[in-house]
Amino acid sequence: MAKYNENIYDDSIWITATPTPASLSLPFMATESGHFIAYEGYNVSREFHDSFLLIYTVKGTGMITSNGSEAVIPDGNGIVIDCHMPHAYKTVSDEWDFYWVHIKGSGAEPISALAAPYGLRASEVEDNSTFERLLKRVMQSMRINDVASSIQISSDLHRLFLVLARSVIEAENYGQKREYAKEIDIVTDYIKDNYQSSITIDDMLSRIHLSKYHFIRIFKRIMGTTPYSYLTNYRINMAKRMLRLTDKSIADIAGDCGFMDTSNFITHFKKSTGVKPVQYRRDFT
């Protein structure tokens, strides 16, 4: 069930597009978009809409409610809403000048999670002119709705998502990196100096003063992976160098890079690269 009170000025723009087979194969597609100038009383409330919604405020202020959380979107800020759950948005100023795009596609859900890792939150856009230009181009391309324009839309939506995701992550990581930079550096340096030996999470923790749960959470958020995966990836990268630059046997390389045995090394290497170490060496000789 949906409720609408769309108090918008006549010069507001609303565009719809029916997805083509070409657009359905792309990571991102736009089904509706608009540039609304709304006045007092504007509000939209839905239980469900099969899309993700990107909203960017040019001027004024809007309020978003999603799954019990609220967020204000002032001018120069954008937000991504998962419309598969109950949501609403409304004007909380005299006027709200904003762009919006309903987005679908295989890439929409995973990248929207990056843009909102801890739930509903508006992101300040650093380069407003570029962000608005991309939104305008999406709307223009939707009017054409051919193969080339579908590709352009997918590319532009990807860039818009990444701007918001980067803004959220950089704002969050600034504080975390400043607070935990020393601890993260100690652990990563320890891994680089001792990757050839057996290393456990407890070995890493013995060098810093954080709880295990807190350390793993902070490390993953800042470095993008768990401490164990970071260690494994570092060992794989060292193994790649040895495979390409030395004549050492696979077994010797496995041991030199800290893997328990050759079979374990081959399993991790293939999972990481898609090929076995022997094939990787052959491809580069």
pLDDT band for position 3 (50/70/90)? low
Token pair, residue 19, equals 């997805």
Instruction: Count up the domains in the chain and report the number.
Output: 2
- Are both 23 and 59 inside the same structural domain? yes
- Are both 120 and 248 inside the same structural domain? no
- For residues 253 and 237, give the distance between their C-alpha atoms in angstroms, rounded to a whole number: 12
- Are both 70 and 200 inside the same structural domain? no
Looking at per-residue confidence, does 117 or 31 come out higher? 31
Average pLDDT over residues 24-41: 94
Instruction: Work out the mean pLDDT of the chain and round it to a whole number.
Output: 90
Given 115, 136, 171, the domain boundary residue is 171
Given 171, 188, 219, the domain boundary residue is 171
- Are both 30 and 132 inside the same structural domain? yes
Q: Buried b vs exposed e over 238-262: b needs ≥16 C-beta within 10 Å?
A: bbbebbeeeeeebeebbbbbbbeeb
Given 125, 147, 171, the domain boundary residue is 171
Nearest to 103 by CA among 65, 44, 155: 155
Q: Is 76 helix (H, G, I), strand (E, B) or coil?
A: coil
- Are both 151 and 197 inside the same structural domain? no
The dihedral of CA 119, 162, 13, 129: what is its sign?
positive
pTM above 0.85, yes or no: no
126-135: pLDDT as tens digits: 899 999 999 9
CATH number at 251 reads: 1.10.10.60
224-282: pLDDT as tens digits: 799 999 999 999 999 999 999 999 999 999 999 999 899 999 999 999 999 999 999 99
Domain holding 228, by residue range, is 180-283
Tally of CB atoms within 10 A around 161: 24
Which strand (E) or helix (H) includes residue 218?
A: helix 212-223
- Are both 20 and 143 inside the same structural domain? yes
Cβ(109)–Cβ(75) under 8 Å?
A: no
139-156: pLDDT as tens digits: 999 999 899 999 999 999
- Are both 221 and 123 inside the same structural domain? no
- For residues 177 and 182, give the distance between their C-alpha atoms in angstroms, rounded to a whole number: 8
- Are both 158 and 193 inside the same structural domain? no
87-107: pLDDT as tens digits: 999 999 899 999 999 999 999
